[in-house]
Chain A
Amino acid sequence: MRKLTLFTLVVILIATSLSGCTKEVIVEKTVVVTQAVEKTVEVKQTVEVPKTVEVEKTVQVVVTPTERPPVTLKILNYSQEQAEFYKEVAQVFHNQYPWITVVWDTMTQSDYMTTLPLMFQNNESPDIFGTGWQGGGGTSPLADALSFGWVQPFDETALAPNFRDRFPNTYKLMENIYSKDGKIYTIPRDGEGPYGYGYMWYNPDVFIAAGLDPEKDVPITWDTLLEVCRKIHNGGKGPYCVSIPEVDVTQTQRILIPFIPLNGGGGAGGMWQSNQTGLFDLENPRTIEVLKFVRQLYTEDLAIPGLIDKAFARAAIANGTAAIYFDGGWMPGVFANTFKYTGYKIALVPAPTKDGYRGKLGKGLDIPAMWLSSQSKHPYEASLFLNWMTEPDGWFATQYLARGFGFLSFADNNRYVTDPNSKQLIQLAPKMQVVAPNPLLKCPDLSKSQATTAVETFHPNWDWEVVSNYFLNGGDIEAMAKEVDAKQNEIFLKALEDEKAAGLNVSADCFAAPDWDMLHDYDYSVYFK
């Protein structure tokens, strides 16, 4: 015998407007009455209140019976600056679904990369985990996750009927990227737009101390960046100009991911692959230019020396040890919550010359981010949590955005983001981002390909190692890049040949988009002809 579950959500919004002597009170009332079925119901009700304007709002709510055994859901990801927020998330969710207790853990990104595979091997994986593995092929995180045996599909009985519509930049959680055989395996969390890399974060006080105007003297080209840096560092008498974390690949990428594409390097296949041929192309002249520029920051002592991590690099901006730092749209939350620093300013990454960017940062579909573990014994509750979390106007979305943690792929960011710095990112992002081609849509068989995995397995993070060592110690970067490309392409092409012989329709050309100029949005309609 199941008991009826009655959920009532009443939101009253009273807005007063002065219009002569009459006051108009707007009441938005949402009443949801559920029935005793395990189905999603739509309810709308109009309540008349004198001298009010009623606004109807329909809310879809998933109804579940209350007589279920207690369940503890474990969630794991690596956004440590959001740890306190996650505790609140767990409590709010528990209040609404009392039989489910959420335990949300976070750890450092590098620990996370090490710990997650071990958890799966020990059969102790969390029920829900955030994405974040590096070097696993990269083309299709879903294909990787399925080949690892890490994921299971969401329980769609726990999802709202319009669940797929919540993610506008995913083509309804399209097949092979978020879904497989019609079942949803993953969803994005962060909005690809303002959230990504491409921003320059700087400490205005350091600028002022160097006699620079933090608004007018913001560097907009590489040359002006060098000039500003030399003035700030002042021959060693002043602080360092740029802080570049370099301890591992997840850190070095923070400066390279924006600089290389904005200089026209990389392409549809990523930063290290040629847009013309799809082959590995570290020796691309545009890429080499960027590497030499960054190296110059070290040789002129303008960048903090040594192997520093991102925590140190960020702290250097907060405490004035350095002036400038390059990182992504999550920094408002990081600076505010981890370093209690809100005095920073934001600008776009400088262009190579005053002619502007030679390419733009490719943004594609929103990155798959939240997964349901194959070892989870509570797929229904886990799916219920993800459904609750991704309600576009729900508690998670509104609070996450209001607190400046970043941007969400399933919410109206413009509406709910209140932090002025985050709002600034929304304005800046379109100036350096374009929609990039998607190799997986060009060649769907790439979801089964392990060619890029083969390259990565041979020598994990080789490109990054070479680059990181070059930044600190110099050397013949062209020769090093040539050696890396030669070996990687040998492995890459052999793997693709073998897969083609086995019947897969794959080639290096899948990763190329010679018809894309890297400055304008790629027309995705070509994939759906």
Chain B
Amino acid sequence: MSIEMEKISPLRRIMQLIFTRRRTEMIWCYIFIFPFVLFFCAFTIWPIVGTVIYSFTHVNGAGLIDQFVGFKNYTSLFSDSTFLRSVVNTVFFTTVNTLIKLPLSLFLAILLTRHWLKGRTFFRTGFFLPLVIPGAIVGMIFTFILNPANGALNAFLLQLNLVSRPINFVGSRWLGMFTIILVSVWGILGQYMIYWMAALQSVPEEVYEAAEIDGANEWQKLTLITLPIIRPVATIILFLGLVNGLRVFDLVLTLTSGGPGSQTYVVDYYIYARAFTVTPPNYGVASAASLLFGTAALIVIAIQGYFVTHSQRTIHEYGS
């Protein structure tokens, strides 16, 4: 053996000491991660840094930073009634949207996992199909359907004498927001139905069988078995619903364009309007709004993270 060692060159020996198998694997990991990191820095980190910089400056029409204005952009937001209204609208949308879509999708998921239901595949496909259509296209289609002048829905309601004059579904603030919520629920229901169906599959069949033997009815099975067991996953789904609700934009853009006036502005639409629909573009205020709102969303996500961690511990406990 000593003769073999004598045959290995010093350089090779050094390389062997440096590049151990573990280190080699690590290097390959970093090489594969590097493209993602590069894109992440370019398209996530850098824009965030840019947003922070812009939020403290005034930008001219050519998109160049004009002057440093300190916190003026932030303070102007709190005196801007349109921004405050957009925050209220966003919270309203998120809350009501979540309160409707989660129970409804859970109900559908439970229904579609019943063995006695015929045509489950057909119904599942039907409820999932709206998800395939992009949100902006959904908004445009509903613009035609809901049009008070010649839309299908008003024509239907008038034909059945359910209303005496057409309803302007997007003509006022709260009715407009509610319309956006319902259209959003229609579009996203399938996605949450899938989430719930996955959650329901984690409930052991034996528990249901045991409950049946004990004489439990459907309602008791739902409230005493299903819901408690899927509660940890429900927490995750709830926060997913909330975070997705905060991002509403495409439906507002296509259904109401924030109107009438600015009555149905949401925060994302406010940012878009200030940055891209006025001349000169007001990047400073838009960036400040983005950061403020992003921070609020981050807080929601952090709370979600806490509850998710707690839920995962609970799942683990159930498992053991």
Q: Interface of A with B (CB < 8 Å)?
A: 110, 113-114, 117-118, 120-121, 133-136, 144, 147-150, 236, 240, 246-248, 301, 304-308, 312, 316, 321, 453, 456-461, 464-469, 471-473
The answer to whether A466 touches B259 (Cβ under 8 A) is no
Given A149-B61, A149-B64, CB of A135 within 8 Å of CB of B263:
no
The answer to whether A247 touches B259 (Cβ under 8 A) is yes
A-B contact pairs, 26 of them (CB 8 A): A117-B280, A117-B281, A120-B62, A134-B278, A135-B279, A144-B280, A149-B61, A236-B165, A240-B149, A246-B260, A248-B257, A305-B166, A305-B171, A306-B169, A306-B171, A307-B256, A307-B259, A457-B280, A459-B81, A461-B278, A465-B262, A466-B261, A471-B260, A472-B260, A473-B171, A473-B173
* 9 additional A-B residue pairs with CB within 8 Å, beyond A150-B62, A453-B280: A117-B281, A121-B63, A135-B279, A144-B61, A144-B279, A148-B60, A305-B149, A460-B282, A469-B259
The answer to whether B60 touches A118 (Cβ under 8 A) is no
The answer to whether B276 touches A118 (Cβ under 8 A) is yes
A246 to B149, CA, bound (A): 14
Q: Considering the complex, which residues of chain B in the window 245-275 have a beta carbon less than 8 Å from any beta carbon of chain A?
A: 256-257, 259-263, 273-274
> B91 → chain A, closest Cβ, in Å?
21
Of all chain B residues, the one with the shortest Cβ separation from A114 is B276
Chain B residues within an 8 Å CB radius of A240: 149
Given A305-B168, A306-B148, A306-B171, CB of A136 within 8 Å of CB of B61:
yes
Given A307-B170, A321-B149, CB of A469 within 8 Å of CB of B62:
no
Q: Interface of B with A (CB < 8 Å)?
A: 60-64, 76, 80-82, 147-150, 165-166, 168-173, 256-257, 259-263, 273-274, 276-282
A459 to B265, CA, bound (A): 14
> B275 → chain A, closest Cβ, in Å?
9
The answer to whether A148 touches B280 (Cβ under 8 A) is yes
A114 to B274, CA, bound (A): 11
A301 to B148, CA, bound (A): 11
The answer to whether A134 touches B149 (Cβ under 8 A) is no
Chain A residues within an 8 Å CB radius of B81: 459
Determine which of A134, A306, A457, A465 lies in contact with B261 in the assembled complex, contact meaning CB atoms within 8 Å. A465
A468 to B172, CA, bound (A): 11
The answer to whether B279 touches A117 (Cβ under 8 A) is yes
> B272 → chain A, closest Cβ, in Å?
9
> A7 → chain B, closest Cβ, in Å?
39
Chain B residues within an 8 Å CB radius of A118: 276
Given A305-B168, A306-B170, CB of A468 within 8 Å of CB of B261:
yes
A3 to B187, CA, bound (A): 67
Given A236-B165, A248-B259, A465-B262, CB of A459 within 8 Å of CB of B62:
no
A466 to B166, CA, bound (A): 24
**A148, A321, A466 interface centre (most CB from chain B within 10 Å):** A148
Determine which of B62, B63, B257 lies in contact with A307 in the assembled complex, contact meaning CB atoms within 8 Å. B257
The answer to whether B279 touches A472 (Cβ under 8 A) is no
> A240 → chain B, closest Cβ, in Å?
7
The answer to whether A469 touches B263 (Cβ under 8 A) is yes
Given A135-B278, A459-B82, A465-B262, CB of A148 within 8 Å of CB of B62:
yes
Given A305-B149, A457-B282, A459-B82, CB of A147 within 8 Å of CB of B276:
no
The answer to whether B149 touches A468 (Cβ under 8 A) is no
A424 to B278, CA, bound (A): 36
Of all chain B residues, the one with the shortest Cβ separation from A146 is B61
> B47 → chain A, closest Cβ, in Å?
14
The answer to whether B61 touches A316 (Cβ under 8 A) is no
A118 to B278, CA, bound (A): 11
A148 to B281, CA, bound (A): 10
Chain A residues within an 8 Å CB radius of B166: 305
Chain A residues within an 8 Å CB radius of B274: 460
Chain A residues within an 8 Å CB radius of B262: 465, 469
Determine which of B60, B148, B173 lies in contact with A149 in the assembled complex, contact meaning CB atoms within 8 Å. B60
Given A120-B63, A308-B149, A460-B274, CB of A473 within 8 Å of CB of B172:
yes
Given A120-B63, A459-B80, CB of A469 within 8 Å of CB of B149:
no
Chain B residues within an 8 Å CB radius of A148: 60-62, 279-280
The answer to whether B61 touches A468 (Cβ under 8 A) is no
A133 to B168, CA, bound (A): 30
A458 to B79, CA, bound (A): 10
Given A114-B277, A247-B259, CB of A472 within 8 Å of CB of B168:
yes
Of all chain A residues, the one with the shortest Cβ separation from B63 is A121
A465 to B261, CA, bound (A): 4
> A14 → chain B, closest Cβ, in Å?
52
Interface pairs A-B: 3 shortest CB-CB = A148-B61, A121-B63, A465-B261
A435 to B170, CA, bound (A): 40
Chain A residues within an 8 Å CB radius of B281: 117
A468 to B261, CA, bound (A): 5
A305 to B274, CA, bound (A): 28
The answer to whether B259 touches A117 (Cβ under 8 A) is no
Given A247-B259, A469-B261, CB of A134 within 8 Å of CB of B62:
no
A471 to B261, CA, bound (A): 10
The answer to whether B280 touches A136 (Cβ under 8 A) is yes
Of all chain A residues, the one with the shortest Cβ separation from B150 is A321
